[in-house]
Amino acid sequence: MAKPRTKNVNSPDNFSKKKSALKKFIKGDPYILSAVTDYKAGTLFSKAVCFISVTDGTFRARVFSATEYDLFDAYEKACEKAKNFISQNNIDVLWLKADFINYSKIVSYKNFLAGVRDSREYFFKKGISFDVDFDTALLEAQLNCGGLLDYKSWQLNIAKVREHFKETGNDRFVSIPDNVIEFTTVGYICEDDMSTYKLYPDEENYGRRVAGELTKEDIGRVIKQSSVYLANAIDENGRFDYGVNPVTDFHFITYNILRHAGTIWSVIMQYDTTHDETLVPKIESAIGYMLDSIESPDEDHAYLIERKAAEVKLGGNAVVIITLSTYMKVFKSDKYKELIRKIANSILDSQETDGSYYHILSYPDYKRKERDRIVYYDGEATFALARAYSVTGDERFLNAAKKALDYFIDNDYTRFCDHWIAYSVNEVTMYDPQEKYLNFGLRNANENLTRIFNQDTTFHTFLELLMAAYELYMRVIDNKLKASYMQKFNKEAFIRTIYKRAHYMLNGYLYPEFAMYMKNPLGIAETFCVRHDSYRIRIDDVQHYIGGYYHFYKHFDELQECYDEILNKPVTKPSVISADAERASFVNWILNNI
């Protein structure tokens, strides 16, 4: 089980200090008065509504509401209710959050649920009140992070709603009325260190702290905190706490050794960024656990065994090489060179004459079991072979990787929008920058920009794809390599898409304003999740978030120069584009809508 984040020691009157700091911060926001005024003018409601959420990090946030003609009177009234609860229960408040309604509408309960059905799972971003005084109201975060909305039936879970109000001592809720009030809020939070943040009120980033221009420090912080989560998730045997549903605090009992191997890669990246020596024993322990699942049937081969399924996955073998080669580079060691050679030999045996791969072998006989399992294995294997070449100098591995790239080109693997393909072609062209491979790597990014830019979930592997392609692109520029596709490659759309994903992916980071409504807030705060799957936290998800941000952080300074040039250039009227020029049309659209 992952060790929880530890909270700072607060003084006994920290609630009062947080209350004052947050009120001062809110008063300094010019948006708040106009938002609440506009809200009241456009509805039948004449009073401002404030919700105050508090927790010490060990329980799901308790929420208190109040209405008054003046919004700060409502704030004081809701805070007084919170203060009584805090005093009665001797609570040391870690996070204090205030929400003010900026939109509300009386709708039928049927129409409210229609709005839920029209949203992606866990992406419905409105609260609900069952009375006009907002005494029986639920914030969006309570509905989603508390599991009160059932996205399987697209209904409110009435039993859970009743239980919620019973636990909070609210006896006003009796049943769902025919008409309810849907609403949104603008929020503000005061953290444990007294720092204060405004939260986005817009649909795309709703409820997350406002981040203007991304800084290198911002990115470094999320990498560090999420990597700390992974390091804390390693037990004394070197095994990770595989995953958790933070809504219920249910920890997954399954395990996947392939994902274990890839997650070590992330912790090594964190060490490479911070050189935090406390990570070293964690890394060694996790590698040791992985090595226990590697078998060598002879002197020239080794395999990573998925014991519960009694099989060998091509991707598992590949990720071991990727992780161990990274370890060797970061720690300047050659201790795994021979093992990498043996595993790479096993990958060679899985490659067909046309350059494709056979995916699954049975164990313990190592016989072929399943031709195709998942397309990601192909890119992983190719990336691994190129890495094996970098470690061993064995030309067989590089030649096999190039053979695989030829197969990917012939079969148009750009259609898979696969980050592992981006990693593999970037790695191969470090050693053999043939034009056809450079063109393929550039095309893999450029022809997927529409999908990547418009993706409405955080889809954490997309930033990895973009950053691997960015490294390849810059190598073409810096080394003046021949790549005819550069004439079609739109650098401006590419850089803008990188920044769009880097910003949007922060919606998958469990800032305190999200975590405080989960069952065990401190246990899951400040790591990454997959919102559309019950806010799932799984080690491989965190790995891919870190992978994208690690490379974004690594190239941040030069990327920022490119981005600044784009933002500061004069706006020109776009040229007319023919109807059949789909990708050019996308570039035109993106330049006028960002």
pTM value?
0.91
pLDDT surpassing 60 at residue 8: no
pLDDT surpassing 70 at residue 432: yes
**In sequence order, what are the beta bridge partners of 100?**
50, 186
What are phi and psi for residue 66, nearest 5 degrees?
Answer: -155, 150
Distance CA 263, CA 540 (A): 6
Distance CA 278, CA 464 (A): 26
Return left, alpha or beta for 453; rule: phi > 0 is left, psi -120 to 50 is alpha, else beta: alpha
Domain edge (last residue) among 175, 198, 221: 198
pLDDT surpassing 90 at residue 38: no
Question: Domain check: are 182 and 303 in the same one?
Answer: no
Give the mean pLDDT of 426-445.
98
**pLDDT bucket at 274, cuts 50 / 70 / 90:** confident
Type and span of the H or E element at 26 = helix 14-27
Q: pLDDT tens across 452-486, in order?
A: 999 999 999 999 999 999 999 999 999 999 999 99
What are phi and psi for residue 558, nearest 5 degrees?
Answer: -70, -35
pLDDT surpassing 50 at residue 190: yes
Of the candidates 49, 139, 212, the one whose C-alpha atom is nearest the C-alpha of residue 513 is 139
Evaluate whether residue 564 is within a structural domain: no
Evaluate whether residue 377 is within a structural domain: yes
Evaluate whether residue 41 is within a structural domain: yes
Question: Domain check: are 171 and 312 in the same one?
Answer: no
pLDDT of residue 590: 38
Evaluate whether residue 344 is within a structural domain: yes
Evaluate whether residue 507 is within a structural domain: no
Residue 363: CB partners within 8 Å, gap ≥ 6? 295, 303, 305, 306, 307, 310, 311, 312
Q: How far separated are the first and last CA of the chain, in Å rounded?
A: 42
Question: Domain check: are 181 and 324 in the same one?
Answer: no
pLDDT of residue 578: 42
pLDDT surpassing 90 at residue 124: yes
Burial 310-335 (b: 16+ CB within 10 A, else e): ebbbbbbbbbbbbbbbbbbeeeeeee
Which is higher by pLDDT, 33 or 495?
495
Residue with tokens 């490119």: 562
Q: pLDDT tens across 218-253, in order?
A: 999 999 899 889 999 999 999 999 999 999 999 999
Distance CA 241, CA 86 (A): 33
Type and span of the H or E element at 99 = strand 95-108
Q: How many domains does the chain have?
A: 2
Evaluate whether residue 515 is within a structural domain: no
Domain edge (last residue) among 411, 428, 462: 411
Distance CA 562, CA 443 (A): 20
Evaluate whether residue 213 is within a structural domain: no
Domain edge (last residue) among 166, 198, 230: 198
Question: Domain check: are 185 and 330 in the same one?
Answer: no
Which is higher by pLDDT, 484 or 590?
484
Residue 102: CB partners within 8 Å, gap ≥ 6? 35, 36, 38, 39, 184, 185, 186, 201
Q: pLDDT tens across 529-558, in order?
A: 999 999 999 999 999 999 999 999 999 999
pLDDT of residue 70: 92
pLDDT surpassing 80 at residue 165: yes
pLDDT surpassing 60 at residue 184: yes
Give residue 153's domain range: 14-198
What are phi and psi for residue 29, nearest 5 degrees?
Answer: -95, 110
pLDDT of residue 12: 54
Evaluate whether residue 333 is within a structural domain: yes
